[in-house]
């Protein structure tokens, strides 16, 4: 590795660390939004648990001028900005590595056990390219699910917004019925594990699971242990190295796609907050005109969607952090 390449790689690692910090901020702010006020008081550290994130209670007060919402919005903006920076830096490193690879006809690469465990599924260095293909397939599933979640949120927003024009108990229940018919999109992972959807095992031994037994309380997780990797030498042709680096560029594009997803989710958060303010005011005027049970159910709708919050503030930051470590793991071998 040349001095210039080493400098670029160091800068890339700095961006990787900055991204890690930003993603942690988003995760913590998401937990604050999901917890009920009594759980938050007096606590400065929150459990890094997706089940905890999904079990809390959103509230109208958090949407209407709440500090947690302001913080979450700022957190997503900062994370999106850092995603763009990291994407650009990684792309520069990948292009530099491709240029260097084209200068040699063959590459003899010495791998440590630690490197092999990060960038392979089973600890076999000969499967680096195949394992990357499998990772790319899982990332395409993630991208498709992210778009489905945003479509679902838009449908939910359109439906709940109609509460603003409700004049009677029947009007309120009509909106409630419409929302209840909307189904949170399933994460269409390839395997079934006791009713939960499970991904393929990916490099580093990681896998995703998605569980939504009742169609209204989705849970996401990422778990798994890195395989035992053995040190050794790997011989690759120029075309093999270039092909793998081009695939790595596609893995890196997840950062760009997540930036777009965060921008869309931010737009939704603003629209939802504006809608809650308007609807909350309208419902207040119906206090003595509409049944209490109808108002109670309507107010629950204003709390927002736990599944989407868990996905964007809990699950995707972990996935992006994982893929960024993977990218730098592969570059550490091929660059």
Catalogue the E-assigned strands of 41-139: 106-111
Q: Where residue 29 falls among pLDDT bands split at 50, 70, 90? A: low
The pLDDT tens digits of the residues spanning 231-270 come to 888 888 888 899 999 999 999 999 999 999 999 999 999 9
Q: How far apart are CA 156 and CA 186, in angstroms?
A: 16
pLDDT at residue 61, rounded to an integer:
67
Domain coordinates in residue numbering, the chain: 3-334
Q: Would you state the pLDDT for residue 39?
A: 45
Q: Does 59 have pLDDT greater than 80?
A: no
Whether 227 and 205 have beta carbons less than 8 Å apart is answered as: yes
Tally the C-alpha atoms within 13 A of residue 23's C-alpha that lie toward its C-beta.
25
Is pLDDT of 84 > 50? yes
Q: Which residues contact 197 (CB under 8 A, 6 or more apart)?
A: 186, 187, 188, 189, 191, 209, 210, 211
Burial per residue of 196-208, b for 16 or more beta-carbon CB atoms within 10 angstroms, e otherwise: bbbbbbbbbbbbb
- Distance (Å) of CA 328 to CA 38, 243, 260, 272: 41, 17, 22, 37
Radius of gyration from C-alpha coordinates of the chain: 23
Cα–Cα nearest to 200, from 141, 119, 252: 141
Strands 232-237 and 106-111: antiparallel
202, pLDDT greater than 90:
yes
Alpha carbon separation from 201 to 204, 206, 304, 308, 321 (Å, rounded): 8, 6, 32, 24, 17
């Amino acid at each position: 590795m040349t001095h210039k390449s080493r400098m670029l790689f160091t800068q890339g690692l700095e961006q990787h660390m900055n991204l890690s910090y930003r993603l942690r901020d988003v995760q913590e702010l998401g937990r604050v939004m999901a917890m009920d006020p009594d759980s938050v008081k007096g606590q400065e550290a929150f459990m890094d648990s997706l089940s905890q994130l999904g079990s809390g209670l959103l509230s109208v007060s958090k949407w209407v001028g709440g500090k947690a919402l302001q913080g979450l919005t700022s957190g997503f903006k900062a994370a999106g900005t850092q995603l763009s920076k990291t994407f650009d830096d990684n792309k520069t490193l990948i292009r530099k590595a491709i240029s260097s690879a084209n200068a040699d006809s063959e590459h003899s690469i010495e791998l440590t056990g630690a490197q092999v465990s990060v960038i392979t599924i089973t600890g076999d260095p000969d499967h680096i390219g195949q394992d990357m293909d499998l990772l790319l397939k899982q990332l395409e599933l993630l991208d498709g699910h992210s778009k489905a979640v945003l479509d679902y949120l838009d449908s939910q927003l359109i439906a709940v917004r109609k509460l603003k024009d409700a004049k009677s108990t029947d009007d309120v229940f009509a909106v409630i019925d419409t929302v209840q018919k909307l189904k949170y999109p399933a994460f269409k992972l390839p395997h079934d594990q006791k009713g939960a959807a499970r991904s393929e095992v990916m490099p580093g031994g990681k896998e995703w699971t998605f569980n939504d037994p009742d169609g209204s309380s989705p849970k996401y997780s990422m778990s798994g242990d890195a395989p035992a990797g053995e040190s050794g030498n790997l011989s690759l042709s120029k075309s093999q190295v270039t092909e793998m680096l081009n695939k790595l560029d596609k893995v890196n594009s997840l950062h760009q796609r997540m930036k777009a997803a965060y921008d869309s989710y931010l737009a939704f958060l603003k629209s939802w907050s504006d809608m809650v303010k308007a609807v909350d005011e309208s419902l207040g005027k119906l206090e003595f005109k509409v049944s209490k049970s109808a108002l109670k159910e309507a107010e629950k709708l204003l709390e927002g969607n736990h599944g989407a919050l868990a996905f964007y503030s809990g699950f995707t930051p972990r996935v992006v952090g994982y893929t960024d470590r993977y990218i730098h793991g592969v570059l550490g071998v091929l660059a």
